[in-house]
Amino acid sequence: MNLEIIGISVLWTFLFGYILVGAIDFGAGFFNAYSLLTGKERILTKVIQRYLSPVWEVTNVFLVFFFVGIIGFFPKTAFYYGTTLLVPVSFGIILLAIRGSYYAFETYGARRHKGYSFMYGLAGLLIPASLSIVLTISEGGFIEMVDGHPVLDYWELFTSPLTWSIVVLSLSATLYISAVFLTWYANKAGDREATDLLRKYALIWSLPTIITAGGIIFELSNHNYEHYANIQTFWPMFLISFILFIGTVWLFWRRRHYGWAFGMLAGQFAFAFFGYGASHYPYLLYPYLTIYDSFTNPAMAISLIVAFILGLCLLIPSLILLMRLFLFNKAYVKGKKNFHA
């Protein structure tokens, strides 16, 4: 294994972490807003306050870690992606700001405002959509070099079926992941009503998720044949992913072992995500940028990796402590105790 691969693996793993934890958070916001319309908000608001409020900042740091890390390991990405992504990423930042301030202003500030909850829910859906654009662009064909500067072709981007299928996938996957996790959480909290409701959402969103995921592979055959062909060579990973998907849905259907079901879902996305990433190798941006020609110098790479290992020694025990206190603590999950400042 070379330094380039270590670097991209670390970043890809943290991006995966962000997608998983972020999806739970984004989806919860959407369900919350939706239930406001149907008058069931009491059920979900509690879960959001008990589970999501203490950890939203941690979720955000996963994203920060990814974009700081990618500039560190692959500084040339700043030139290509930085120049072209101004608009989509700026929208992403504004949406993230709406969510961050919701937690602070609404939950801690103890102020209820319907409009804000709707914005919070809507922002949760738009963030995956706006950030997933980056993945679409990385497939190539949307960036041209004009006078030595990369320029994004918006018309091409927004008329491409690939763009829209990735957007749809990001939305339905967000809702699916979130619903599965929240079902498990609500079940642990002993909240029957919420469990049933969320289980229904999970089953509803499982189907579009798997259909669009398949559809994207098909689109790729038109858009980027090289990548499409690469994906074929990784078929076992996608197969395992599919089997795990069936497992989750089956357990949900039978109303059993929600914890296991969530574990399988994480596995499903992990296999698909890493299979996709591996087949993307070695490109960061087709056809301009590979992990090799954009890589930083060896001195920096080694010091980043050393810092990363030291950082993990701090991070992992702290994360375990956090999860034990808020995710696996019976009294807390059930809402018997409230220790908020």
Partner 1 sequence: MGNEDAVFYSRVLTELTLSFHIIYATIGVGVPLMIMIAQWVGIKKNDEHYILLARRWARGFVITVAVGVVTGTAIGLQLSLLWPNFMELAGNVIALPLFMETFAFFFEAIFLGIYLYTWDRFENQKKHLLLLVPVAIGASFSAVFITIVNAFMNAPRGFDLVNGELVNINPIIAMFNPAMPTKVAHVVITAYMTSAFILAAIAAFRLLKGSNHIYHKKALHLTMKLGLVFAIASAIIGDFSGKYLAEYQPEKLAAAEWHFETKEGAELLLLGVLKDGEPKYAIKVPFGLSILAHNNPKAEVIGLDQFPVDEQPPLYIHYLFNIMVFIGMWMVLLAAWYLIGMRRGWKNVRTNWFRWLIVLGGPLVVLAIESGWWLAEVGRQPWILRHIMRVDEAATTSGQVDVMLMLFALLYLILGIGSVVVLRRMFKRNPVERELEERHMEKGGDVQ
Contact set with partner 1 (CB under 8 A) = 54-55, 57-58, 60-61, 63-65, 67-69, 71-76, 78-79, 81-87, 89-90, 93-94, 96-97, 100-101, 103-105, 108-111, 149, 296-297, 299-300, 303-304, 307-308, 311, 314-315, 318-319, 321-322, 325-326, 332, 337, 339-341
The partner in contact with residue 243, picked from ligand HEM, partner 1, none with C-beta cut-offs of 5 to 8 angstroms by kind, is none
Nearer to partner 1, 61 or 239 (CB): 61
- In the complex, the smallest distance separating the C-beta of residue 340 from partner 1, rounded to whole angstroms, is 6
The partner in contact with residue 81, picked from partner 1, ligand HEM, none with C-beta cut-offs of 5 to 8 angstroms by kind, is partner 1
The partner in contact with residue 281, picked from ligand HEM, partner 1, none with C-beta cut-offs of 5 to 8 angstroms by kind, is none
**How many residues comprise the chain?**
341
Nearer to partner 1, 272 or 304 (CB): 304
> Binding-site residue total for ligand HEM (CB under 6 A)?
4
Nearer to ligand HEM, 33 or 63 (CB): 63
| Position with the least CB separation from ligand HEM | 60
Q: What is the x/- site pattern for ligand HEM, positions 59-98, by CB under 6 A?
A: -xx--x----------------------------------
H or E stretch at 144: strand 143-146
Question: Which residues are paired to 152 by β-bridges?
Answer: 143
- The verdict on whether omega for the bond into residue 282 sits within 30 degrees of 0, i.e. cis, is yes
The partner in contact with residue 300, picked from ligand HEM, partner 1, none with C-beta cut-offs of 5 to 8 angstroms by kind, is partner 1
| CB neighbourhood size of 231 (10 A) | 21
The partner in contact with residue 155, picked from partner 1, ligand HEM, none with C-beta cut-offs of 5 to 8 angstroms by kind, is none
H or E stretch at 231: helix 225-233
The partner in contact with residue 108, picked from partner 1, ligand HEM, none with C-beta cut-offs of 5 to 8 angstroms by kind, is partner 1
Is the distance from CB of 48 to CB of 130 less than 8 angstroms? Answer: no
DSSP string for 61-113: HHHHHHHHHHHHH-THHIIIIIHH-HHHHHHHHHHHHHHHHHIIIIIITT---
Half-sphere exposure of 163 (CA within 13 A, CB side): 16
CA-based angle 129:322:64, to the nearest 5?
Answer: 35
- In the complex, the smallest distance separating the C-beta of residue 337 from partner 1, rounded to whole angstroms, is 7
Name the E strands within the chain: 143-146, 149-152, 283-285, 289-290
Q: Where in 306-335 is the site for ligand HEM (CB under 6 A)?
A: none
Nearer to partner 1, 14 or 205 (CB): 14
Any idea which residue has 């960036």 for tokens?
143
Nearer to partner 1, 1 or 299 (CB): 299
Nearer to ligand HEM, 36 or 96 (CB): 96
If binding is defined by CB under 6 A, does position 145 make contact with ligand HEM? Answer: no
- The verdict on whether omega for the bond into residue 208 sits within 30 degrees of 0, i.e. cis, is no
Please tell me the distance from the alpha carbon of residue 3 to that of residue 224, in angstroms, as a whole number. Answer: 27
Nearer to partner 1, 207 or 325 (CB): 325
Question: Which residues are paired to 143 by β-bridges?
Answer: 152
* CA distances from residue 260 to 82, 248, 252, 328 in whole angstroms, order as listed: 40, 8, 10, 15
Residue 173, helix vs strand vs coil? helix
Residue 74 corresponds to which tokens in the numbers above? 């692959």
- In the complex, the smallest distance separating the C-beta of residue 109 from ligand HEM, rounded to whole angstroms, is 16
Please tell me the distance from the alpha carbon of residue 147 to that of residue 170, in angstroms, as a whole number. Answer: 34
Q: What is the x/- site pattern for ligand HEM, positions 44-63, by CB under 6 A?
A: -------------x--xx--
Enumerate binding residues for ligand HEM (CB under 6 A).
57, 60-61, 64
